[in-house]
Structure 1
Amino acid sequence: MDYAEGVNARERILVTPSERDDLALAVGLLALAGFVDAVGFLLLGGLFVSFMSGNSTQFAIQTGQMSWSGAAPAGAIIAAFVAGVVVGRLIANAAGAWRRPALLALEAACLGLVPGLPAPPLASGFLMALAMGAQNGILHSAGRTTTGLTYVTGSLVKFGEALADALSGAGPASAPLPYLSLWLGIVAGGVTGAAAYGAFGLSALALPALAAALLAAATAWAKTAL
């Protein structure tokens, strides 16, 4: 067995049930983020609640054009997202091994409040961005597949690199698939979110809120079953 074959064999062995479970959770969370981001984008007229690169570009453009009324909403959503990351990190540190159900419960609560909230769209966007920021503390990697949980730019880069390695024989043919599944997750969530918002308006957020609550219960059950 040559070196490349040895690496491929070791990588196949290292795909454990725990890694597969983490990858499935990551895909599910990205689908949830895609759903919420699509709803947020349509609600806010072109701002994202999970994709902060897009908001940062809009903030920069509006600031460069000295359009403060255009820059302020983008900046506010970015601030809400960062606040969610901070809150999520603090909760994760306090909850320790129970961070997943704790953060998923927080996310479910934030998203569940939005449909009944008598507030302007930007205030609803704050809660959605807060939930998406907190979501990033749930899972930092799925086995050996590193991923963000509200964006897939890095996953697409990893997919391209893994595909190049697979085509050249430097890596296993299956290596690109986890990254492709992450991208498909957020796209599927976005398609579903856009359709649901068109049909039900903000009430569509009841679906990701329920999904987050069920994931909180499932991860808590998995913890007690260990």
Structure 2
Amino acid sequence: MLPSPPHRAPTSGLLHVQKWRGRIGLCLVASLSVLAGMTDAIGFMATGDFVSFMSGNTTRLAVAISDSDWQLTLRLLVLVLMFIVGNALGVIVSRIGRRHALPLMLSIAALLCGAAAWPLETQFPALLAAILAMGMLNAAVEQVNGLPIGLTYVTGALSRFGRGLGRWMLGERRAGWRVQLIPWTGMFAGAVLGALLEHQFGLQALYASGLLAAVLGIVSLKIPRRWHLGYMPR
């Protein structure tokens, strides 16, 4: 039996590439989280429903069931299902576009602009379009250098950060837990911006979300192809 080849440590060049791939990926995550937070705040303030925070809509769904409010129950159930459909559609669009981010981000931009252009008298279709877009957004980045990343929800990120903090306080020095604050910070900043925009423009502030999605799609063309393949879902 032949002996296994000796293990070789990564070269300095490889470590340099990994570092920059991680930095670029986290900048992209922060930007996409701003988009998610902005859209969620606009949608929530304009319609009273969460656009990307499905944990909140799930809790509201349970309360509606307990109150026997079947009209609200049906509404919230449709919202949650639309978010699931959006995630599935995001993967499909990503595969059709050969896992390039631009077609996905332009599709999201089209949905958000369509929601902004919808007549104010009937907001529910606009809400569904925005939720579909936020579900699709999760296909833009799934991980960065092996670290799981959530774009439209931050409960998991805060949980991973908290567990990492606990391990750090116990003397363990694992890498990666601090970066979990990046999507939370991005979503918080985006939500503040979205709230300010909604105060001025109402649901039409989603035009700003659509524009940001398109810009991020164009910017993504500058990211090396092999790096982006590592970010997006397989």
> Under a length normalisation based on structure 2, what TM-score does the superposition of the two structures give?
0.83
Q: Is the contact made by 1:83 and 1:130 (CA closer than 8 Å) also made in structure 2?
A: yes
- C-alpha offsets along residues 153-179 of structure 1, whole Å, 9 cap, x if unaligned? 11001111121222222115x744311
- C-alpha offsets along residues 120-149 of structure 1, whole Å, 9 cap, x if unaligned? 111110000000000011111122331111
- C-alpha offsets along residues 22-79 of structure 1, whole Å, 9 cap, x if unaligned? 111111111111111111111222x211111111111121122211111122112112
Q: Is the contact made by 1:166 and 1:175 (CA closer than 8 Å) also made in structure 2?
A: no
C-alpha deviation, 1:225, in angstroms: 11
Q: Does 1:131 align with 2:126?
A: no
User: Cα distance 1:25–1:52, how it changes in 2: closer, same or farther (>3 A)?
Assistant: same
Structure 2 counterpart of 1:22, from 25, 50, 59: 25
User: Cα distance 1:15–1:137, how it changes in 2: closer, same or farther (>3 A)?
Assistant: same
Structure 1: gaps of 5 or more residues: 1-11
Q: Is the contact made by 2:97 and 2:104 (CA closer than 8 Å) also made in structure 1?
A: no
Structure 1 counterpart of 2:73, from 71, 74, 79: 71
Query: Runs in 1 of length 4+ with deviation above 6 angstroms?
Result: none
Q: Is the contact made by 2:53 and 2:153 (CA closer than 8 Å) also made in structure 1?
A: yes
The aligned residue for residue 104 of structure 2 is: 103
CA RMSD of aligned residues (A): 2.2
Q: Is the contact made by 2:43 and 2:203 (CA closer than 8 Å) also made in structure 1?
A: no
Aligned length: 212
- C-alpha offsets along residues 170-215 of structure 1, whole Å, 9 cap, x if unaligned? 115x744311122111111111111110111122112221111011
Aligned residue identity for 1:215: L
**Relative to structure 2, which stretch is displaced further, 114-123 or 32-41?**
114-123
Q: Distance in 1 between matches of 2:47 and 2:77?
A: 13
Q: Distance in 2 between matches of 1:41 and 1:68?
A: 21
Q: Distance in 2 between matches of 1:112 and 1:103?
A: 14
SS at match of 1:49: coil
SS at match of 1:96: coil
Q: Does 1:40 align with 2:43?
A: yes
C-alpha deviation, 1:220, in angstroms: 2.5
User: Cα distance 1:216–1:148, how it changes in 2: closer, same or farther (>3 A)?
Assistant: same
Q: Distance in 2 between matches of 1:116 and 1:40?
A: 14
Structure 2: gaps of 5 or more residues: 1-14, 228-234
The aligned residue for residue 58 of structure 1 is: 60
How do 1:148-167 and structure 2 match up within 5 A? 148-167=150-169
Aligned residue identity for 1:96: R
Q: Does 1:170 align with 2:172?
A: yes
Q: Distance in 2 between matches of 1:133 and 1:17?
A: 28
Aligned residue identity for 1:25: L
- C-alpha offsets along residues 83-118 of structure 1, whole Å, 9 cap, x if unaligned? 2112111112222231x1121111111111122212
SS at match of 2:117: coil
Q: Is the contact made by 1:59 and 1:70 (CA closer than 8 Å) also made in structure 2?
A: yes
Q: Is the contact made by 2:150 and 2:183 (CA closer than 8 Å) also made in structure 1?
A: no
C-alpha deviation, 1:221, in angstroms: 4.0
